[in-house]
Copies of this chain bind each other. A is one copy, B any other.
Amino acid sequence: MVNNLDLIKGISTPSPAKIVLLVIDGLGGLPNPKTGKTELETAKTPNLDHLATKGICGLVDPVSPGITPGSTPSHLALFGYDPVSFNIGRGVVEAMGIDFDLEPEDIAARGNFCTVDKTGRVIDRRAGRISTEKCTELCRLFDGLVIQGVKLLVCPVKEHRFITVFRGEGLASEVSDSDPQQVGVAPRAIIALNPQAGMTAAIANQLVAQAKTLLAKHYPANMVLLRGFSQRPRLPTMGEVYKLKPAAIASYPMYQGLAKLVGMQVLETGASIKEEFATLKQNYADYDFFFLHIKGTDSAGEDGDFDRKVRLIEEVDNALPILTSLEPDVIVVTGDHSTPALLKGHSWHPVPILLYSKWCRPDRVGEFSEPACIYGGLGRLPATQVMPLAMANALKLTKFGA
């Protein structure tokens, strides 16, 4: 059967028109009980509101109603890739983010250095966010180990985060995580989820056992947590599907990794919101699609910091004229998912979206917010349809069928 990507690939056509997809990570929120207003409603956003007035609004479901997505599926969906068919492990995404050259048979896992108490229970999943330098030092203790003939490659990512790559024969990625995703319990034993993955699970458990010894003197980083065991997937690139020359502006490695996975060029950028917008301006002539990723809003939401999330949204609004003055043919502003400060984590709530182009059919929405977007002309749409809409509004899709 023809899936949506095949359909789009068959009708997409290159053109000079430019598309900017601004992803404000974790944008959607929930009302503050004191004011009845969400983070986005609370923020003063005259530039976004103006764009909402000229454009068309709606609400996006990252996967489908009720499903809280991780960052990988939510971004893949925004790029137009069905996040259920293309379920990519965290390990692979982290490896891509640090430019690790994964071989096709490699198994990659995301690791955290963490703190366990004397009874072995996790008391800090991030080991007090040790420095990247410390993380690099600790990774050297593991890098190059050989267990059952399989070589382990262990590389630092940032702060407490690292990746471990298993390279050898007879491996399979279908194993469970050791990361319990909560404190107060011991890391879980890694188990094989199918018969082929028995050896991989055994090796991973031996690695965890060795970590106990190797890290004994490195408190607070005295244990590891592993998750997202996965193999490199084969995704068609955005160049193939959309005939775009796409670039990514993202300061955090994981989003750079995701962007690379779909064939985007990752641009060098400063980490602040202003610097990211400046990077867009500097590189505007050289690409026809830009994925501009703002991370801080999600982190603020995860920390339960309502006010910081509000301020960061205002900071994005403040920088928006740098983008709009470039006059892209299509501007899309949305989030990859909601991260309400009240929930201190990702959530299933749909995400506000606004799309502006010369050819959008405007609605009566004059404000970029969750409740206003309910009445938008885009209605309620799955995230996988955002790219087809952006492409259509850029007049980059020819007619389907006779």
Contacts and interface: CB of A to CB of B under 8 A. Distances in A.
A7 B67 contact: yes
Given A84-B2, A380-B380, A68 B397 contact: yes
Nearest to A402: B90
A161 interface: no
Interface string A368-402: 00110011111111000101111111000111111
A1 B87 CA distance: 11
A389 B59 contact: no
A68 B10 CA distance: 13
A64 interface: yes
A128 interface: no
Contacts of A93: 402
B371 A402 contact: no
Nearest to A71: B402
A218 to B, nearest CB: 26
B388 A4 contact: no
Interface residues on A, range: 35 or more
List the number of copies, as a whole number: 2
Contacts of A69: 399-401
A232 interface: no
A325 interface: no
Nearest to A385: B65
Interface stretch (A99-107, A263-271, A356-364): A356-364
A138 B312 CA distance: 69
Contacts of A374: 363-364, 375-377, 379
Nearest to A379: B380
A4 B64 contact: yes
A361 B61 CA distance: 14
Contacts of A28: 361
B343 A66 contact: no
A395 B377 CA distance: 30
A114 interface: no
Given A69-B400, A400-B63, A402-B70, A363 B359 contact: no
A21 B391 CA distance: 31
A68 B13 CA distance: 13
A31 B89 contact: no
Contacts of A160: none
A83 interface: yes
Given A69-B400, A374-B363, A379-B59, A388 B7 contact: no
Interface of A: 1-2, 4, 7, 11, 28, 30-31, 38, 59, 63-74, 83-85, 87-90, 93, 110, 227-228, 342-343, 345-350, 359, 361-364, 370-371, 374-381, 385, 387-393, 397-402
26 contacts: A2-B87, A7-B84, A63-B400, A64-B388, A65-B381, A65-B388, A65-B392, A68-B400, A69-B400, A71-B402, A72-B402, A73-B401, A83-B400, A87-B401, A90-B402, A227-B402, A347-B359, A347-B392, A348-B389, A348-B392, A363-B374, A364-B371, A374-B375, A374-B377, A379-B380, A380-B381
